[in-house]
Amino acid sequence: MGVTILLSYPVPENKTGPQTVDLLIKRIGALGAVQSGQFLVDCETFSSGPTMGGPPRTVHVLHNSEQPAAVFALLESPGPPPKTVPLVADGLFDLLMLKMSSIYASKKQTRMEARGTRFEIADFLVKIGTVTMSSNFKGVLVEVEYRPCFIAGNCWELMREFMQSFLGSVVQNTPPPYFQVHNRLNDVYQPLDTIQQYLDHFASYRKVAGL
């Protein structure tokens, strides 16, 4: 898969979420994009009970409709040192999490979901979706993938130009923090990178909600 950049598009004060999405769809349509189906990224969070000893550990389990056969699990370990261990598994991993439900319990109220429409324009894939947490609207996410390129550092300028063409000044001139923090600018882009960007955004939405 190509380099993907995920941006949170702020909802203007006098507009609702769906209105914002419609506006973006109109803009991308004007560029010549063609609609091609729907997409969905969901995230469920499990955390360990008190019997495990030590601080609680959290497992985020994410699914991405772009990789329908895969399950992405990210384990936040308190450490020391604190770290995140990613795991890519096939669909039956969900069954295993059910088996472990006595050890790792799901926090249903923090289930997050980004759902919306996919667009294609030349080699770009654009997804515009709304984020909901247990069916409450949280914000608008825009995912832009440039499929022929696999090194974020190579095509950031190009993607910035593309994104600014329909998102305007929301797009920063520097690469998103995810690429700088994890030093991923010069590595081959993986589906897991997309998932981690989603998780980062979901986490910040949760923080806003005060959870």
Partner 1 sequence: MNVELDALNEALKAVSSLRSCVGNFFLSLSQGVRSEHGEDHRETKYILELQDLVAEISSNMRKVEQTCSSIPLPPDGQINLGNTAHLAHETTQDRQALYSELVGSYKWTDKLHEISNITFGFLAQNVMKRSYNSYLNSSGMNAKRRRLTPSCHNVPISSVETVITAIDRQYQDMNMNVYRPHPSNCHNLQIQVSLGRILRAVISFRGMMIEWVKVKAYNEEFQTDNGQLGQLDLWTNSRHHVFRKITENANAAMLHFYSPTLPDLAVRSFMTWLHSFRSLFTDTCRRCGNHLLCAMPPTWRDFRTLEAFHEDCKP
Partner 2 sequence: MQREEKQQDAVLEAVISRVNDLKTSIGAMIFKVENEYETLNWPNFLDNFALISGQLTSLTKILSNEKAPALRNFTVLPLMLKPDLDENLARVTEGRLTTFSHDIVPDYLRTKPEPDAELKMMQLEHKANCVTYETAQKQVAAMNKVVGHVWDLVNKAREEWESEAGSRSGAAQTFSLTDTPLLVAAISMGKGLKHTVAPGAMMGGPPPGPQRGPGALGPPQGPPGGIPGQMGPMGKAPSAIKTNIKAAGQMHPYR
Partner 3 sequence: MAMAQQTVNTAIDSLTAALKSNIIPNQEYFLQGSILDSSVEVLLHRLRGLCDNVDTNLETFHDHEMCFSIRGPNNTQPLQLRVRRSLDHNGMPMQLRYIGQPEIGDKSRPTVLRNSIDIGTSNTVVEFLTELGCRKDFEYSAKGYMFRKGRMKITVFKVFKIDETRKMMSSGGFDALSPLTHSYLVELSVLAPSGQDAIADDMRCFAEQLRPLVQLEKIDYKRLVHGP
39 binds partner 3 (CB under 8 A): yes
Angle, helix 152-167 to helix 17-30, in steps of 10 degrees: 110
Q: In this chain, which of 14, 69, 92, 98 binds partner 2, going by CB under 8 A?
A: 98
Q: In this chain, which of 10, 19, 85, 157 binds partner 3, going by CB under 8 A?
A: 85
User: Shortest distance, CB of residue 105 to partner 2, whole angstroms?
Assistant: 7
Please tell me the count of residues contacting partner 1 according to CB under 8 A: 20
Do residues 118 and 37 make contact, with C-beta atoms less than 8 angstroms apart?
Answer: yes
Build a one-symbol-per-residue string for 123-142: x at contacts with partner 1 by CB under 8 A, - elsewhere: xx------------------
34 binds partner 1 (CB under 8 A): no
Applying CB under 8 A, which residues contact partner 3?
A: 36-40, 42, 44, 48-49, 51-52, 57, 59, 63, 65, 68, 71, 73, 75, 77, 83, 85-96, 99-100, 102-104, 113, 115, 118
Applying CB under 8 A, which residues contact partner 1?
A: 31-32, 121-124, 146-151, 154-155, 157-158, 161-162, 165, 188
